[in-house]
Amino acid sequence: MITTLMKHEWLRTRGLLGTITGAALLLVIAGTALTATGWPGISVIGVLMLVAALGGLVPALQIALTIHYWQSSFGRTGYFTQSLPVRGTTIFTAKLLWALLISLAGLIVVLGMLCAAWPVLAGQLGTERNPFTVISQLWSGYAEVVPVPLLVAAVGLFVGMILIWPIQYFFAASVGSEAPLNRLGLGARCSSSSACTWSCRSSSSSGWPFCPGGSGSPTGSSAWSAGGSSRSWPLGTPPPPTSCRSASSPRSSW
C-alpha cells in the first residue's frame, strides 16, 4: 500500500519538483557562464547565483513537498485524502518517505551540478579543476589522521541532518493543524517548527564532537597529535602530509 501511495505522490508532485529542479539548473548554467567571464562584479554575481541554486535546491524541494502534504491532508482537499480506506499513519509514512527520497535525489543532483560547475569555479579560485581529484585529496588527507569509520560517520551525520528537515516540517504541519494550536493559524505551524528545530539541534549537535573538526578550537581549526604535541590546520583544508609531521620536532611550535 505504501508503494502505491508513493506512486500517486510521484504523479501529483512530479510537475512541481521538475519545475524547481529545472529552475535550479538554469541558475547553475547562467551562474557558471557569468563566472567564466572573469569580469569584476559579473563573476561575483555568477558565484552568488551558483551558491543560491546549489544551496537552495534541496530546501526548496522539501518545503514544496511539505506544503503539498499540508494541503492534501489538512487543507481544502484534505477531505479526499482522509476519505481513503487507508490508515492515517500509512498515508503519513508514504508522504514522509517520498519527501526523504526526494531529498536524497536532490542532494545527488546538487553534487552532480557542483561537479559540473567546479572547473569554472576552480579557475577563479586557482585550485585543482578536477573535482574528483579534490575529493580524493581531501579524503586521503583526513584519512591520515582520522579513522575511516569516523569519516564515514561524519558523512552519514551530515546527510542525516539534511534528511531530518522534512521530518521537522511534517511535524510542524501536523501538530500545528490540530486543536487547540490550529486556532493560531500560521503561528501554530511556526511555533511547532521552532520547538522541533531547537529539539533536533540540541540532540544532533551532540554528535559533532565525534566528527573530524567537530571539537576544534573557537578559531575554526582541528588538532592532531604528532610526537606528543598538538598541531592544527584550518577547517576545510586537508592536514599537512605525513612527511611534514614526522619531520617536525615535538618541541617546535607552529
Q: How remote is the C-alpha of 222 from its chain's centroid? A: 22
Per-residue pLDDT of the chain (254 residues; tens, 9 = 90+): 788 888 888 988 999 999 999 999 999 999 999 999 888 889 899 999 999 999 999 999 999 999 888 888 776 666 566 667 778 788 888 899 999 999 999 999 999 999 999 999 888 877 888 888 988 888 888 888 888 888 888 888 889 889 988 888 888 777 765 555 555 555 555 555 556 665 666 666 665 665 555 554 344 444 444 334 444 444 445 555 544 444 444 443 33
Give exposure, 96-116, as e/b (b: 16+ Cβ within 10 Å): bbbbbebbeebbebbeebeee
H helices, E strands: number in the chain: 8, 2
| Calpha distance 176→166 (Å, rounded) | 15
CB atoms within 10 A of CB 124: 14
Q: Is the Cα torsion angle 110, 7, 91, 63 positive or negative in sign?
A: positive
- Any residues with CB less than 8 A from the CB of 230 and at least 6 apart, and which? 223, 224
Residue 226 phi, psi (nearest 5): -150, 120
Does the global pTM surpass 0.85? no
Residue 233 dihedral angles phi and psi, to the nearest 5°? -145, 155
Cα 45 to Cα 34, 56, 116, 117, 193: the distances in Å are 7, 16, 18, 15, 33
Give the Cα separation of 173 and 196 in Å (integer): 11
Cell 551558491 identifies what position? 51
Report how far residue 153's alpha carbon sits from residue 218's, in angstroms, rounded to the nearest whole number. Answer: 23
What separation, in Å, do the N-terminal and C-terminal C-alpha atoms of the chain show?
Answer: 61
Of the candidates 92, 109, 113, which has an alpha carbon nearest to the alpha carbon of residue 27? 113
